[in-house]
Structure 1
Amino acid sequence: MQQDPCPCGSDKPFGACCERYLVGTALPDTAQALMRSRYTAYAKQNIAYLKDTLWPKYQPDFDSFAVSKWASESHWVGLEILSVEKGTAKDRDGTVLFEARYLSAGAMALHRELSLFRKKSGRWYYVEALPQG
C-alpha cells in the first residue's frame, strides 16, 4: 500500500519523513527538518507538536485555540524552502527562509517568513520570525 506524500514537499512518503517527528519517535536533526515538520504539523493539525517545538520560554504563552483555528481553517497546499543558513546537526542555531501556500476563505494566501531556530540539550526549537530585509 502506497502512502501519501509528506505535506512538507520532500517527495518522501509521510511515514518515511515527518510522521516520526510528529508522533515522537525521532527528533529533527536540522533546523530545516524542524521547519518542514512544523509545516506538516499545521497541515495535519497537530497543535501539540507546534507547542512542543516552540522555544521553551514561549510555550506558556502559546495560544493553542488560535493556532488550531487557523490551522483547521486553512488548506495547506505547499512549502518552499528558499534559503537555509547554518542549522546543521553541528550548529547551535540557524535560519530558514520559507514560503507556505494555503487556501483560506476561498483565496490563495502566502506566508513568507525568515525563522530562527535554536538547539537546546540536543533538540531543535522554533524561536521566532526575524525581520527580512
Structure 2
Amino acid sequence: MLISGDRPSRLCPCGSQKPLAQCCAPYLQGQLAAPTAEALMRSRYTAYCFRDVDYLLKTEYPSRHTADSRQLITATANSVSWLSLTVLATAAGRPQDETGMVEFVAVYQEGKIMGQLHERSQFIKEKGRWFYLEGDILPPLQPKKNEPCWCNSGKKFKQCHGKKR
C-alpha cells in the first residue's frame, strides 16, 4: 500500500485537513479500528483513493459480500480517480452507538468525465467494529448559479457544470 512510504505531513485524502498518518492511515494499516461511522466512511474513501481493496472488503458488512465483490471493487478502484470528499451530515454513529448514517458528496473523475457521488450511507457496529452496510444514491448537488461549482474548479456553478449545453 502507498501509505507506508508517504511523507508524514501529507494530508489525508478524506478532507479532514489532518496528516494522513494521524487520520486514516492507522485504520487502513489495521493498527486501530475506526471509532465512529464517519471515521469509517472517511477511511473507506481513502481506501478507494489508494485502491486498497482488502480494506474495503474487510469494512463492508459480511452479508453484503458476493462471489464477485472483489472483482467489482477492484474495477471501480482502477477506473475512478477520487478528487474530494465533503461530509454533509451524520446521524448517530458515535462510539457508543450501534448504527450510524453519513451523507456525503465525493467528486471523482472517470476518464475525461467529472462527476459526483452523493450518497447517504448506513453503518452498523458489531463486536466493537463499524461496517458499511448500504448506501442510498441521492441526486447530485446543484448549487445556486452564483455559488462555487461542486467540482472545486474555483468557478461559479453557472460558468462550469451549470452551463446549459
TM-score (normalised: structure 1): 0.93
Of 50, 60, 65, the match for 1:59: 65
> Could you tell me which residue of structure 2 aligns to residue 68 of structure 1?
74
> Could you tell me which residue of structure 2 aligns to residue 23 of structure 1?
29
> Could you tell me which residue of structure 1 aligns to residue 107 of structure 2?
101
> Could you tell me which residue of structure 2 aligns to residue 33 of structure 1?
39
Q: Please identify which structure carries the higher strand content.
A: 1
For structure 2, list consecutive stretches of 5 or more residues without a partner in the other structure. Answer: 1-6, 140-165
Relative to structure 1, is the Cα distance of residues 68 and 131 closer, same or farther in structure 2, using a 3 angstrom cutoff?
A: closer
Greater Rg, structure 1 or structure 2? 2
- How many aligned residue pairs are there? 133
Determine which structure has greater relative contact order: mean sequence separation of CA pairs < 8 Å that are 6+ residues apart, divided by chain length.
1
| Superposition CA RMSD, Å | 1.6
> Could you tell me which residue of structure 2 aligns to residue 77 of structure 1?
83
For structure 1, list consecutive stretches of 5 or more residues without a partner in the other structure. Answer: none
Task: After TM superposition, list the pairs within 5 Å mapping 1:107-122 onto structure 2.
Answer: 107-122=113-128
* Percent identity between the two aligned chains: 37
Higher mean alpha-carbon deviation, 53-62 vs 67-76, is at 53-62
CA distance in 2, matches of 1:44, 1:131: 23
1:88 correspondence with 2:94: yes
